[in-house]
Amino acid sequence: MTRLRHWLVRWWPVLRLRTIMFGLLLMVAALPGVAAIMLRVYENALVRRTEAELIAQGSAIAAGAALGWPQPAGPPVPEPRDPDDRAMATSIDLRSSPVLPERPDARPTPVSPDPVAVRMARTMAPVIAETRRATLAGIILLDRQGVVLNGPEAGRSLAALPEVRGALGGQAMTVLRFNGDYTQPFALEWLSRATDLRLHHARPIMAAGHVVGVVLVSRSPRALFRGMYEDRGKIAVGAAAIFVFLVAMTAVLGRTIVRPVEALSRATRALAEGRRAVPPAPTLRVQEIDSLIRDFATMAAAIEARSHYLRDFAAALAHEFKTPLSGLSGGIELLQDHGEGMAGVERAHLLTNMAGDTQRLNRLISRLMQLARADMQRADADARCDLHAVLARLADGLSTPDFRVELALPGILPDCAIAAPALETVLTTLIDNARAAGAGHALIAAAHDGQTTTLRVTDDGGGIAPADRARIFEPFFTSRRETGGTGLGLPIARALIEGNRGSLTLDATSPATRFVIRLPA
């Protein structure tokens, strides 16, 4: 079993789920048609089996009747042979053979029956009676003129029947006729096409190459349901094979759909409970399930990363708020305990420190609100800005006598898919950081490659320490805390750019401080 599973995993094609479902439903839809076809084929086989039995009976009776026949006068007529040289060849097919009306009664005729044929009929009477009891077939003997020799229609003629004419001409012939005496014994008999039919086989009696009479044998075909009962073992095997096939299809669907979905459900509950969620690896793969598992893994990784971010953010936020709050708390306690005896200079210094802590808290809250808005921002399909106008306005507004903003722009620059205020906020943050780092010059260079516009902001400041390069986009990370830095400027700038389907990175290949902004056109 394990070897079979490994073989299936190795050779199983990764199909689409809709392909598997369509194939399965097509097979299920085809089962009734296949069953109907097999039923018709089986019924046709029963009819041909009945025809073969009639041919055998007719041949035996014709041979027995010809044994004692006197030598006829005239030259012998060559006995016709089957073209395939098969004595028991059948010709009836329920799909193509015509169905003739019920056999008419024998007609009166002025022709007297052949005396030799009459004696032959009397001699064969015990054989015919025994054969009729054993096979339930109707057996009629006719002379060479088509006159009936036995039974209640003796002395009448059946020479007008096409099968009798064929036999009188030396050719055995089988026809299908309606059975007027048929009564429906079972409710489901109507499912069979051969229930109200009767086979009539006419075979010539040959003596010394001459047709001296005809044997007309008739019988209803073997009943379909009786044949099914007789072949119940084979039918049971077929039904078991269909059942095994359906079980196999159920197992395939379980392996490809049900089990992966159940595993994803368990992983989802684990993720909701805060536990590590490992996406399942199905044994038999389909494309949609593979895509769902990959999406789940991406979602789980994003949730885990977001959880780590929120934990780190909460810890950093608590640390940032703790310092000014501790200062405020300490100042309030000093005022409460020693406020009346405190000198004016000391009181003023204490209040100044408390005001500074309050301002820092206000800056933090303001920056946090900006970060939240930037983080929740989604791209606006109609947002666009004229880069030439935005950059020209920034260069003019941010340049001072001791700090110069220079532009390096191509002649033709398409609009970017970002609102002008958002881009101005990002560029202002980068230039303010450069000025705070001691730079005296900043260069904004632009380029366009057809789908993306790239802005490179380079300054000549002291640069960023190698140890700090990997952390500059972390919230609350700053090297200018003593001068009022909150460490939220770059995270806000990155959130604004990523919210507009762009990216903001630090160029690791440049020794100078160079930020790279990529925006969709």
Q: 214 pLDDT exceeds 90?
A: yes
Domains 2-230 and 378-520 share a fold: no
- Confirm or reject CATH 3.30.1300.10 for domain 378-520, answering yes or no: no
**Number of other residues whose CB lies within 10 A of the CB of residue 73:** 7
Is the CB of residue 153 less than 8 Å from the CB of residue 164? no
DSSP-assigned letters across all residues of 378-403: ---TT--B-HHHHHHHHHHHH-BTTB
- Give the angle 105-110-113 at the CA atoms, nearest 5°: 80
**Mean pLDDT throughout 36-50?**
74
CA distances from 347 to 92, 336, 358, 402, 404 (A): 123, 12, 16, 38, 43
pLDDT digits (tens, 9 = 90+) for 405-420: 898 888 788 888 888 8
How many angstroms separate the CA atoms of 358 and 345, rounded?
20
* DSSP-derived secondary structure letter, 410: -
How many angstroms separate the CA atoms of 25 and 287, rounded?
19
**Mean pLDDT throughout 444-452?**
87
Is the CB of residue 222 less than 8 Å from the CB of residue 192? no
Is the CB of residue 147 less than 8 Å from the CB of residue 157? yes
**Mean pLDDT throughout 366-377?**
65
Question: What is the predicted pLDDT for the residue at 479?
Answer: 67
**Mean pLDDT throughout 17-40?**
67
CB neighbours of 154 closer than 8 A, spacing ≥ 6?
Answer: 113, 148
pLDDT digits (tens, 9 = 90+) for 111-124: 999 898 998 899 89
Question: What is the predicted pLDDT for the residue at 84?
Answer: 45
Is the CB of residue 74 less than 8 Å from the CB of residue 222? no
Q: How confident is the model at residue 227 (pLDDT cuts 50, 70, 90)?
A: low
Q: 85 pLDDT exceeds 60?
A: no
pLDDT digits (tens, 9 = 90+) for 47-73: 888 889 899 999 999 988 888 777 665
CB neighbours of 395 closer than 8 A, spacing ≥ 6?
Answer: 405, 406, 407, 444
For all residues of the chain together, what is the average pLDDT? 79
The residue whose two tokens read 């306005």 is 393
Q: 370 pLDDT exceeds 60?
A: yes
Question: What is the predicted pLDDT for the residue at 484?
Answer: 58
Q: 225 pLDDT exceeds 50?
A: yes
Percent of residues, the chain, with pLDDT higher than 70: 77
- Give the angle 360-366-367 at the CA atoms, nearest 5°: 90
Question: What is the predicted pLDDT for the residue at 371?
Answer: 65
**Number of other residues whose CB lies within 10 A of the CB of residue 243:** 10
- Confirm or reject CATH 3.30.465.10 for domain 2-230, answering yes or no: no
How many angstroms separate the CA atoms of 498 and 495, rounded?
5
Q: State the Cα torsion 134-139-141-145 to the nearest 10°.
A: -160
The residue whose two tokens read 């042979």 is 81
- What H or E segment, with its residue span, contains residue 73? none
**Is the pLDDT higher at 176 or at 347?**
176
Q: How confident is the model at residue 174 (pLDDT cuts 50, 70, 90)?
A: very high
Q: 43 pLDDT exceeds 90?
A: no
Q: How confident is the model at residue 33 (pLDDT cuts 50, 70, 90)?
A: low
**Is the pLDDT higher at 18 or at 472?**
472
Question: What is the predicted pLDDT for the residue at 83?
Answer: 47
**Is the pLDDT higher at 460 or at 341?**
460
Phi-psi region of 148 (alpha: psi -120 to 50; beta: other; left: phi over 0): beta
User: 420-436 and 387-398 are packed helices; what angle lies between their axes, rounded to 10 degrees?
Assistant: 30
Alpha helices in 172-286, H assignment, sequence order = 224-230, 232-253, 259-272
How many angstroms separate the CA atoms of 505 and 364, rounded?
24
Q: Which two tokens stand for residue 437?
A: 């780092």
DSSP-assigned letters across all residues of 444-471: EEEEE-SSEEEEEEEE-SS---GGGTTT
Give the type of residue at 175: V
pLDDT digits (tens, 9 = 90+) for 497-509: 888 888 888 888 8
The residues spanned by each domain of the chain are 2-230, 378-520
Q: 182 pLDDT exceeds 70?
A: no
How many angstroms separate the CA atoms of 149 and 153, rounded?
8
Q: 190 pLDDT exceeds 60?
A: no
Q: 472 pLDDT exceeds 70?
A: yes
Q: Which two tokens stand for residue 330?
A: 């300490």
CA distances from 404 to 88, 394, 437, 439, 461 (A): 111, 11, 14, 9, 12
CA distances from 348 to 326, 345, 354, 386 (A): 18, 5, 10, 50
Cα of 320 vs its chain's centroid, Å: 54
Q: 163 pLDDT exceeds 90?
A: yes
Quick one: which of 320, 421, 311 has its CA closest to 363?
Answer: 320
**Is the pLDDT higher at 82 or at 271?**
271
The residue whose two tokens read 């030598």 is 71
Q: 243 pLDDT exceeds 50?
A: yes
